[in-house]
Amino acid sequence: MLNLEGKIALVTGGGAGMGRAIAEAFGGQGVRVIVAEIDPARAEAVRVALDDAKVDNLVEVVDVRDAGQVAALAGKIADRFGGLDILVNNVGDFMGIVGPFANSTPEQWDILYQVNLKHMFIVTHAMLPLMRKSSADSSRRGGSIINVSSIEGFRGIPGGVVYGAFKAAITGFTQSLAVELGREGIRVNTIAPETTDTEQVQVTNWTNPKYRDHTERWIPLGRFGVPRDAAGCAIFLASDLSAWVTGTTIHMDGGALAAAGWYRTPAGQWTNMPVIADKGLIF
């Protein structure tokens, strides 16, 4: 049902975190994997891992914010593979920029724009001719673009207003592009993760051990995300399992968005009130 064997996929930021998990999971399904990664050491590490797993791969050190570098990568993909079936626009970063919107600067807005939204335009624009070429071949028909957003694009994020705005914009990009490309058999969807343990967000390390039990009461599925969760969503969206799914979002969030402000008290009851011992709405 997957029909991924022999497909060609590009994963941006595939040297760490969710991108690396997606790249390796694709490789495990017989996908030929291209990784665009800005960090040379991470690029080398994922190349070695893919080689060791006998995955046909092309790992390039590329800054996806740079249209020239991305165009050069498209040329290499054309020469080596002749087309592209799957594109995962995974790069994104809050860049350590946290604080009230009133204190943010135009320079910070630009930094966040480049790394959370503009690269999706650059990479998708550069790779579309290759994806169209693959999809126009009746034996390969169908393509999948997967944009990695954030659950913060679907709720407010105080202290991350500009980051949240660009993540929310990915929803619009996904929907409109899905409509444009539907006739060509190229699907476009979004994965929106809740807090996930990665190199960028080392949430378990950052949580004081004495408060770690909070997590299992706050997130309905009882834990933070792990990169493998993103890999599962990406396999679904890349494969024929989702052949009739386009223009939509998988909230990869352990149920956190559905729960909104609801969480369990230490006694295991549900509340949407501040932490209180004996007052408020307790279910």
Smaller CB distance to ligand NAD: residue 150 or 246? 150
Note whether 195 binds ligand NAD by CB under 6 A.
yes
Nearest partner of 49 among 23, 30, 29, judged by Cα: 23
In angstroms, give the least distance from the CB of 185 to ligand NAD: 26
Bridging pattern class, strands 32-37 and 270-271: unpaired
Note whether 150 binds ligand NAD by CB under 6 A.
yes
Smaller CB distance to ligand NAD: residue 64 or 145? 64
Measured from the Cβ of residue 217, the count of other Cβ atoms closer than 10 Å reads 17
Report CA-CA distances (Å) from 76 to 9, 36, 70. Answer: 13, 12, 10
Question: Of the listed pieces 75-83, 87-95, 254-262, 271-279, which binds ligand NAD according to CB under 6 A?
Answer: 87-95
Note whether 254 binds ligand NAD by CB under 6 A.
no
Place of tokens 């996908």: 31
Q: Where are the beta strands (DSSP E) in 50-159?
A: 57-61, 86-89, 143-148
Crossing angle of helices 106-113 and 161-181, in 10° steps, is 40
Q: Mention every residue, 6+ apart, whose C-beta is less than 8 A from residue 217.
A: 263, 264, 265, 266, 268
Note whether 60 binds ligand NAD by CB under 6 A.
no
230/242 Cα distance (integer angstroms):
15
8/270 Cα distance (integer angstroms):
46
Note whether 86 binds ligand NAD by CB under 6 A.
no
Set 113, 163, 211, 263: catalytic member: 163
Smaller CB distance to ligand NAD: residue 142 or 193? 193
Note whether 92 binds ligand NAD by CB under 6 A.
yes
Measured from the Cβ of residue 199, the count of other Cβ atoms closer than 10 Å reads 13
Smaller CB distance to ligand NAD: residue 151 or 181? 151
In angstroms, give the least distance from the CB of 174 to ligand NAD: 13
- 163 labelled catalytic: yes
Smaller CB distance to ligand NAD: residue 201 or 237? 201
Note whether 148 binds ligand NAD by CB under 6 A.
yes
Note whether 160 binds ligand NAD by CB under 6 A.
no
Site for ligand NAD in 199-228 (CB under 6 A): 199-201
Q: Are 48 and 24 in contact (CB under 8 A)?
A: no
Query: What are the residue numbers of the active site?
Result: 163
Name the residues that contact ligand NAD, by CB under 6 A: 12-13, 15-19, 36-39, 42, 62-65, 90-93, 115, 148, 150, 193, 195-196, 198-201
